[in-house]
Chain A
Amino acid sequence: MSDMSQTHGAETQSPPSGPVLAADGRPLKHSLNRALRRQKMRALMLIAPLLIFILITFIAPIADMLFRSVENQIVEDTLPRTVAVLGDWDPEADDLPPPAAFAGLYRDLFIAAEEKTHTRLGSRLNYETTGISSLFRKSGRSMDDVGEEIVDTIEATDPIWEEPATWAALAESAGSALPDFSNVWADFARVVRADGDDPAEENPWEVLHVSLAEDLRAGAAAEYDGPLKAELGQLTQALAGVAPVDYVAAMEDVDEGWSDPAVWRTIRTYAPRLTSGYFLNAVDMQLTDQGVAQQPEDQRLYLMLFQRTLIMSLTITLATILLGYPVAWLLANLPMRVSNILMILVLLPFWTSLLVRTSAWKVLLQQQGVINDLLVWIGIIADDNRLVLINNATGTIIAMTHILLPFMILPLYSVMQTIPPTYLRAAKSLGANDWTAFWRVYFPQSVPGIGAGSILVFILAIGYYITPELVGGTTGVFISNRIAYHISTSLNWGLAAALGTILLALVLLLYWVYDKLVGIDNVKLG
């Protein structure tokens, strides 16, 4: 509408020289540009709601999955003090990390146990080294036994140390004079507040006593200036008679696992906030402190699963070509009226719920199912020798070939429809026999259809989950089933995300090929 007026203006005003002007006196070029801009804006305004919707409901989840496949904040978030010290540890030189790491671990693990996040970290690290999960769980239970003597001494010195308010008042003005104490207090206050409680009314954790004792032993009472200065001096004297906590011995006392270098190496290897560990696991490798290594023989699984997924998808694709080609040929060469009716036989399965078709195959393929009954009745197989057609790769291949066959027939049909039948007749009149005419003239022209159908079927097949899950047993399942297993059963979301990312990359690569060969815009429905 606006562009109409522009053209109109251009026709009426045609000054002999200077820029062409529109009806409102502006240069025509500007007006046209403005109209074009407005048109673009209007198009974008119409698209924007949907684009935002898809970005939030779909693209963000995919991005989240990609992020989760490398995300590894849990180690540093749960054990910040330990991780900071472990950076300086050289596992080649010393078996165990320096005592400072044990001191950090004591504080981190105490706080984590109060927050109940230590078990989550335990299960995370257990994916890498088995046994860590129970180590964390057991240690979490006995963290408050460490430094018992110090706690008793502090509380015996002055009854005010049994009052939560005393600790809160000390924390108010502790600042940099009591570094260890304020550091732990910050976490104490955070955790207590997260529960909706007031830190000034909550009994102080044992780790606060221990850290305060560390500060006082370092001579903090002299530097400290504020309330309770006298009491702190008193405490310093009282604590002089108590041996400092030997963190290495204390942690080993809690659980012998802490004297195992393998545990510490795992923590150190997985300390960074981003890790390639999940991706390495997804291809049967693992990250160790010596670099990347292969998984032990008995834990290799995923390369085999990827390979199986690809081989079975390829088999299914070949089966759909073999079955789909004759059908498409007949449909393309029959009169429209007949082929339209036969097309229903292709479209009905296409429109029927995936679960209906899968349950049909489950019923048909069972040992006591229709196919076995029929074969026994005919007498091809003995009653006690029924075929095992389900819960294995055969079941998956049969059911998925059936389910994906329409996706092969439809593109093949639309390509074959465009091949003029006169070409075949011409070939034959030039002396070719039926086979030569088909193979040299017709088949090459139908190859684009085979290509389009194959890529489509293959892409759909490698991502299938429901059918392999229901008819595949253990030998007929795909990588998708493993992804689902890691999401809902083993809860190893990072590995699920890494497997998903690899699968997604594979599918996108195939779609890129499909786009080059066929063009995504040529996807037709119905």
Chain B
Amino acid sequence: MSALPAYASPVQRVWYYAFRVIVGLIFFFLIAPILVIIPLSFNAEDFFTYTPGMLALDPEAYSLKHYRDFFSNSDWQQAMWNSLAIAPSATVLSVGLGTLAAIGLSQSHVPFRRAIMAILISPMIVPLIISAAGMYFFYSRVGLQGTYVGVVLAHAALGIPFVIITVTATLVGFDRSLTRAAANLGADPVRTFFKVQMPLILPGVISGGLFAFITSFDEVVVVLFVGSASQKTLPWQMFIGLREQISPTILAVATLLVAISILLLATVELLRRRSERLRGITPQ
């Protein structure tokens, strides 16, 4: 149904347009909730609905006060700085260890490859509430519960499957004769890695890193249990806010987070295309 043929019957014609309307409505269902909250975050009142003034596009009805609140409220600021400290640390850990392991896994002879892969992917498979429960029990046994180190370790573990999956996927298309050529020209393995292999798999590493970052940055279940109030992150603060007294500042934060996700989505998409181009796979 890529295009309606000229000989289509009236029924087919009606269905063709009706179908598009239905799909349009589903797209609306997908995207509208996210878009609806953006204007609401500029509400001058503390309401969660559109005031008559807002609908009349009265500039008086809009304000930045919820954003001001976000940037001046010490709770939200602490949460923001915690998020900005925890997510990058977790990302560095999971990208560092994950990339090494992905290179190891993509060698031609790896004993117990399936079992190792299953273990490394498991943090993605196990429901978060179960990971959180286990980590809470275990980390309080070893004294990591309620510490930054504990939260960073937990988030790094959750991000690792994404790094492994993206980097191994990039390595599948990696031409091994390039490293052999480098070795032939006298480069030692370390130099080969940094000069030849790394630049080529970099897009995969970066998008794996972005996945790991967003995993940690958005994660709330594990941090609720493994962290304590002093490690509260933005999602933690939002969750508490939504559960107890819902304040419109949450919508301002949500809007900022949507902006961040758009940025990340664009970056990942660009990287994917660049990597496909570099590896000679043209998108159809």
Within the assembled complex, what's the spacing in Å between the Cα atoms of A360 and B98? Answer: 34
In chain A between 148 and 177, which residues have their CB closer than 8 angstroms to a CB of chain B?
none
Interface residues of chain B: helix, strand, loop or mixed (majority): helix
B37 touches A (CB below 8 Å):
yes
From B58-66, B67-75, B217-225, give the one contacting chain A: B217-225
Q: Would B130 and A65 count as touching, CB distance under 8 A? A: yes
Q: Would B153 and A47 count as touching, CB distance under 8 A? A: no
A54, A364, A373 — most chain B CB neighbours (10 Å): A54
Q: Would A61 and B134 count as touching, CB distance under 8 A? A: yes
A345-B242 CB under 8 A given contacts A50-B100, A61-B134, A335-B2:
no
From A8-16, A270-278, A443-451, A499-507, give the one contacting chain B: A499-507
Q: Would B129 and A353 count as touching, CB distance under 8 A? A: no
State the Cβ distance, B1 to closest chain A Cβ, in Å. Answer: 6
In chain A between 465 and 524, which residues have their CB closer than 8 angstroms to a CB of chain B?
465-466, 469-470, 480, 483-484, 487-488, 493, 496-497, 500, 503-504, 507-508, 511, 520-521, 523-524
Picked from B19, B30, B154, the residue with its CB within 8 Å of the CB of A57 is B154
Q: Would B242 and A470 count as touching, CB distance under 8 A? A: yes
Q: Would B127 and A50 count as touching, CB distance under 8 A? A: no
Nearest A residue (CB) for B97: A50
Within the assembled complex, what's the spacing in Å between the Cα atoms of A344 and B132? Answer: 31
Within the assembled complex, what's the spacing in Å between the Cα atoms of A358 and B126? Answer: 21
Picked from A42, A60, A348, A359, the residue with its CB within 8 Å of the CB of B138 is A60
A357-B34 CB under 8 A given contacts A44-B111, A47-B105, A369-B49:
yes
Q: Would A511 and B125 count as touching, CB distance under 8 A? A: yes
Picked from A330, A333, A360, A487, the residue with its CB within 8 Å of the CB of B225 is A487
A323 touches B (CB below 8 Å):
yes
Nearest B residue (CB) for A68: B137
Picked from B19, B108, B183, B283, the residue with its CB within 8 Å of the CB of A326 is B19
Q: Contacts of B265 on A, CB cut-off 8 Å?
A: 344, 347-348, 351
Nearest A residue (CB) for B237: A355
Q: Would B135 and A61 count as touching, CB distance under 8 A? A: yes
Within the assembled complex, what's the spacing in Å between the Cα atoms of A341 and B283? Answer: 14
Q: Contacts of B121 on A, CB cut-off 8 Å?
A: 520
Q: Would A54 and B120 count as touching, CB distance under 8 A? A: yes
State the Cβ distance, A235 to closest chain B Cβ, in Å. Answer: 45
Q: Would B251 and A363 count as touching, CB distance under 8 A? A: yes
Q: Would B130 and A345 count as touching, CB distance under 8 A? A: no
A344, A421, A504 — most chain B CB neighbours (10 Å): A504
Q: Would B122 and A54 count as touching, CB distance under 8 A? A: yes
State the Cβ distance, A356 to closest chain B Cβ, in Å. Answer: 4
Q: Would A4 and B258 count as touching, CB distance under 8 A? A: no
Within the assembled complex, what's the spacing in Å between the Cα atoms of A487 and B156? Answer: 23
Interface residues of chain A: helix, strand, loop or mixed (majority): helix
Within the assembled complex, what's the spacing in Å between the Cα atoms of A508 and B130? Answer: 12
Q: Would B120 and A62 count as touching, CB distance under 8 A? A: no
Q: Would A65 and B137 count as touching, CB distance under 8 A? A: yes
State the Cβ distance, A96 to closest chain B Cβ, in Å. Answer: 37
B257 touches A (CB below 8 Å):
yes
How many residues belonging to B are interface residues under a CB distance threshold of 8 Å? 98
Q: Contacts of B34 on A, CB cut-off 8 Å?
A: 348-349, 352, 356-357, 360
B86 touches A (CB below 8 Å):
no
0 or 1 for each of A63-90: is its CB under 8 Å from B? (1 = yes):
1110010000000000000000000000
A504-B130 CB under 8 A given contacts A54-B120, A54-B122, A353-B218:
yes
B196 touches A (CB below 8 Å):
no
B281 touches A (CB below 8 Å):
no
0 or 1 for each of A290-325: is its CB under 8 Å from B? (1 = yes):
000000000000000000000000000000000100
Picked from A51, A64, A402, A463, the residue with its CB within 8 Å of the CB of B33 is A402
Q: Would B97 and A53 count as touching, CB distance under 8 A? A: yes
* Chain A contact patch, size range: 35 or more
Within the assembled complex, what's the spacing in Å between the Cα atoms of A472 and B283? Answer: 42
Q: Contacts of B57 on A, CB cut-off 8 Å?
A: none
A487-B48 CB under 8 A given contacts A51-B119, A348-B34, A354-B220:
no
Q: Would B50 and A370 count as touching, CB distance under 8 A? A: yes
Q: Would B30 and A346 count as touching, CB distance under 8 A? A: yes
A462 touches B (CB below 8 Å):
yes
Within the assembled complex, what's the spacing in Å between the Cα atoms of A57 and B30? Answer: 36
Q: Would A40 and B261 count as touching, CB distance under 8 A? A: no
A49-B100 CB under 8 A given contacts A40-B111, A483-B129:
yes
Q: Contacts of B201 on A, CB cut-off 8 Å?
A: none
A488-B225 CB under 8 A given contacts A50-B160, A326-B23, A327-B23:
yes
State the Cβ distance, B217 to closest chain A Cβ, in Å. Answer: 8
A462-B127 CB under 8 A given contacts A40-B109, A470-B239:
yes
A368 touches B (CB below 8 Å):
yes
State the Cβ distance, B33 to closest chain A Cβ, in Å. Answer: 4
Q: Would A356 and B37 count as touching, CB distance under 8 A? A: yes
A194 touches B (CB below 8 Å):
no
State the Cβ distance, B219 to closest chain A Cβ, in Å. Answer: 9
Nearest B residue (CB) for A470: B242
A345-B101 CB under 8 A given contacts A355-B239, A370-B36:
no
Q: Would B104 and A43 count as touching, CB distance under 8 A? A: yes
B101, B165, B283 — most chain A CB neighbours (10 Å): B101
Q: Contacts of A524 on B, CB cut-off 8 Å?
A: 169
Q: Would A39 and B153 count as touching, CB distance under 8 A? A: no
Q: Would B108 and A370 count as touching, CB distance under 8 A? A: no
A45 touches B (CB below 8 Å):
yes
Q: Contacts of B214 on A, CB cut-off 8 Å?
A: 351
Q: Contacts of A402 on B, CB cut-off 8 Å?
A: 29-30, 33
- For the complex of A and B, the 8 pairs showing the least CB-CB separation, nearest first, are A463-B127, A46-B104, A61-B134, A61-B138, A50-B101, A65-B134, A360-B33, A47-B104
Add 11 more A-B contacts to A54-B157, A370-B50 (CB < 8 A): A62-B131, A351-B262, A352-B261, A353-B217, A354-B220, A356-B34, A363-B36, A373-B49, A459-B127, A484-B129, A484-B132
The chain B residues found within 8 Å of chain A, CB to CB, are 1-2, 12, 15, 19-20, 22-23, 26-27, 29-31, 33-34, 36-37, 40, 47-50, 93, 97-98, 100-101, 103-105, 107-111, 116-123, 125-139, 141, 153-154, 156-157, 160, 162, 165-166, 169, 180, 183, 207, 211, 214, 217-218, 220-221, 225, 235, 238-239, 242-243, 246, 250-251, 254, 257-258, 261-262, 264-265, 268-269, 272, 283-284
The chain A residues found within 8 Å of chain B, CB to CB, are 1, 4, 36, 39-40, 42-47, 49-51, 53-55, 57-65, 68, 323, 326-327, 330, 333-336, 342, 344-349, 351-364, 366, 368-370, 373, 402, 405-406, 421, 434, 459-460, 462-466, 469-470, 480, 483-484, 487-488, 493, 496-497, 500, 503-504, 507-508, 511, 520-521, 523-526
Q: List 18 A-B contacts (CB under 8 A).
A: A42-B104, A43-B110, A53-B160, A54-B120, A58-B122, A62-B126, A62-B130, A346-B30, A348-B261, A352-B34, A353-B257, A357-B34, A360-B254, A370-B48, A465-B221, A487-B133, A487-B225, A503-B129
